[in-house]
Each structure stands twice: as structure tokens, then as C-alpha cells.
Chain A
Amino acid sequence: MREGEEQLRAWMIDGLGGDAGAHAALLRALVPLLQSFYRRRMRGAEHDVEDLVQETLIAVHTRRASYDRDRPFVAWLYAIARYRMIDHFRRQRVTVPVDDVADILVAEGFEDACAARMDVARLLSGLSPKQARAIRDTHIDGLSIAEAAQAARIGESDVKISVHRGMKALAARIRGERP
């Protein structure tokens, strides 16, 4: 059973107060959450998922002083989980033998991803640079509107308009009409 933010946060705060029972309940409740978080992001590597879940539990325990009782718990948790995953990849990259890289790339759908990326790049190249960038930032790299606006040093409404017009132009192009 999945516990929600309210319950997790309550356990966390009680744990910070020194309540070992609440702390244990919290860590147990985090296991399924973290498992699905990592499974979704690391297809097929069940052993790594288990390692990452445990590393994250240890980090949640030893670094719990970094939680601010006034802020959402789940955001804090996922920030730690994301960091652990990035660190995991960084450590692994050093130990992956070069011969296996091709297999890994095939398994990870790298070729398909590359082909899709090239299609996207070709389509975007037909747009104005501002529109192309706005679409790439918000729809491919996953930035929020505010982040994209900051990155491109333009206003948020400008980003929204660029995305909207760019998408319209793309749709027209894919349908075979001239914009």
C-alpha cells in the first residue's frame, strides 16, 4: 500500500523528534516508492534497483538533518533519490568494459532514441531558432516554462507563444502543408 505525502511527512517529523517506530515505518513505506521510482528509470537492472533503494534509505537516514520540516517531504526524498541515481551512473560508467557498450546501447534503445532525436532535430531545424529552442527546452529536455524562460533569457509568455506557434508550424509541416 502506498502512503501519501501527509503520512510520510508525519512519520518523518516524528522520526526527527526521536521516535524510532515512526522512523522505521517511514523507511518501510519508502521501499515500494523508491523501487518504482528506480524501476521506471533503469529498465531491467533489478539488482541495481535494490542497491539504489538501500543506498537511498541510508542517505535518508544519515542525512535527515537536511530535511526542512516546513517543506514537502516527497520532493526532498526524490531529490535524494535522483542524486543517488546520477551518482550510480557516474560510478558505473568507469567500470563498464568498452566491449559491452554496444550491447548496452542496443538494450537501452539507444539507436531508436538517436533516430528519433535526428528526426526531431530535422523538424526543429525548419523553425525559427527561438521557437526551436523553446520546444526543445520544454518538450524534450523537460524544463518548466519558467526554467526555459530563464535559460533563454526571454519572458515566460514569450516561451509559451514560441512553443505554441512552433508546434502549430510543425503540425502543419507534418500534415504536408506549407506553413
Chain B
Amino acid sequence: MKTEDLIQSLTREVPPVPRHALGRRIMLGVAGGGVMTLALVMLALGVRPDLWIAMHGFAFWMKWSYTASLGVVAIVATMRLARPDALPSRWPWLLSIPVLLLAAIGIGELAGTPSRDWLAMWLGQSWKVCPWLVLTLAMPIFVGLLWSFRRLAPTRLRAAGAAAGLAAGACAATIYCLHCPEVSAIFVLTWYSLGILLAAGVGALVGPRFLRW
């Protein structure tokens, strides 16, 4: 094909691109996948029956702020890595703020609990399934982000995949809070984070293959 013909066919339709099209597209991917994840939590796992009461307590908001702040940082990172001229940045360090805050709360909790109860507090009722559920629930959101990337131009595919996986994991964990009855900070710090990290790892693993364009 002649280049001039190509240019003519490309410019036959030039829809306007709004200023925040990139951010909107990423949010749309997250939201689309998030609706799927929410449906999975409500239908397959069930919302915890005492959600309304829990929402008046500290533990629920502690969990939510932790996962949601990780999600925000990861989504911002994903948006940056969706541009071809993304520079290596220091954003991963921002993730340490919620982690350290939660760790501080966890140490406070441990100090106030007799040491014979520490193990039960750490493992909770659901440590065996929590990371895997977070990872599974992250998949619809990750797929949503893959859709977002189809019109965007990541060039550091492994980093972009990891950021997308992290965002998917953190958002999935936020939604999973509606089901999960665990209350201790060290439980969340260990098992939620593990699930989120697994999602980021999967993202980094498949990024170079699925994000190629």
C-alpha cells in the first residue's frame, strides 16, 4: 500500500479526542472489570451479613483505606505507563506509605493482644483462601485494563503489566472487603498484600505478551 493512500484512509474519520481521554479510558477499564468483580463477590461469595454494622467500625475503614490507597497509586502509575514516553519514576515508593501505616497499626494491635493469640489473629479464619480470592477477583479488572491499553501505547510492557496487575489486585481487594469479615491489621497486611502482589506478578509475567502492539 502506498503511504499516501494509507494517510488518506486513516484521515477519512478523525474523531476528536478529549483532553483526559487516556485517564477516562483507564478508569472505564477498571470500572467495567470492577462491575464484574462486584457481581462475583455478591453472587458467588455473598456480602457479609453484618456489613452495615462493620461500616461503623474501625477495621472496615482501615482495610478499605489500605486497599483503596494502593489502588489509587497503582492506577496513576498505570496511566503514566500507558504513554510511550513514560520515564522511569519513583512511584513505587509511594506504595510504602500505606504499607508502613498499616504495619504501625498492626504492631499496635499485637502490643495490645496476649502473645498466645497472635497466631490466630494473623491467620484469621480465611488466610488459606484470601490471597487466591483476591487474585481471582483481580482478573476481570485486569482484563478491563487490557482493553484500555488497546488504544494506548505502553512501551515498557513488563512495568505496565505489573502496574495494571497491581491496580487490578488492589481494586479487587477493595471490593472483596464487602465479603471478608477479617478484622486484624496484620491479617490484611499479610494476606491481602500477598493476593495483590500475586496479581502484580501475573501482570508483569503476561504484560510483554498481552500488551504488545
Residues on A lying within 8 angstroms of B by beta carbon are 15-20, 23-24, 27-28, 31, 50, 53-54, 57-59, 61-69, 71, 75-76, 79-80, 82-83, 87, 150
**Which residues of chain B (5-20) have a CB below 8 Å from chain A?**
6-8, 10-17, 19
A57 to B186 Cα, complex, angstroms: 51
B1 contacts A54, C-beta separation under 8 Å: yes
**B interface, over-half SS:** loop
CB atoms of A16 and B213 under 8 A apart: no
Please give me the residue from chain B that is nearest to A31 by CB atom: B3
Q: How far is the CA of A63 from the CA of B85 in the complex (A)?
A: 13
The answer to whether residues A65 and B155 also contact, given A50-B3, A54-B1, A59-B213 and a CB cut-off of 8 A, is no
- Chain B: how many interface residues by the 8 Å CB criterion? 29
Per a CB cutoff under 8 Å, which of B1, B85, B152, B153 touches A75? Answer: B85
Contact between chains at A66 and B15 (CB < 8 Å): no
Query: Which of B's residues lie within 8 Å of A, judged by CB?
Result: 1, 3-4, 6-8, 10-17, 19, 21-22, 25, 82-85, 88, 151-153, 155, 212-213
Q: How far is the CA of A79 from the CA of B21 in the complex (A)?
A: 19
In the bound complex, residues from chain A placing their C-beta under 8 Å from that of B1 are 54
Closest residue of chain B to A68, judged by CB?
A: B83
Q: How many Å lie between the Cα of A98 and that of B14 in the bound state?
A: 44
Query: B155–A82 contact, CB under 8 A?
Result: yes
Contact B85 A64 (CB under 8 A): no
The tally of CB-CB contacts under 8 A between chains A and B is: 83
A residues near B13, Cβ cutoff 8 Å: 20
Residues of B contacting A53 with CB < 8 Å?
Answer: 3
Q: Is the CB of B6 within 8 A of A63?
A: no
Q: How far is the CB of B167 from chain A (nearest CB, A)?
A: 17
A63 CB to closest chain B CB (Å) equals: 4
Taking the closest CB of chain A, its distance from the CB of B101, in whole angstroms, is 27
A50–B3 Cα distance when bound, in Å, is 8
Taking each of B12, B19, B84, B151, which has the highest tally of chain A beta carbons within 10 Å of its own beta carbon?
B84
Task: For the complex, give the distance between the alpha carbons of A66 and B213 in Å.
Answer: 13
Quick check: B84 and A76 within 8 Å, CB to CB? yes
List 25 interface pairs A-B (beta carbons < 8 Å), by A numbering: A16-B16, A18-B14, A20-B11, A24-B7, A27-B7, A50-B3, A54-B1, A57-B6, A57-B10, A58-B6, A61-B10, A63-B151, A65-B17, A65-B21, A66-B82, A68-B22, A68-B83, A75-B85, A76-B83, A76-B84, A76-B85, A79-B85, A79-B155, A83-B84, A150-B88
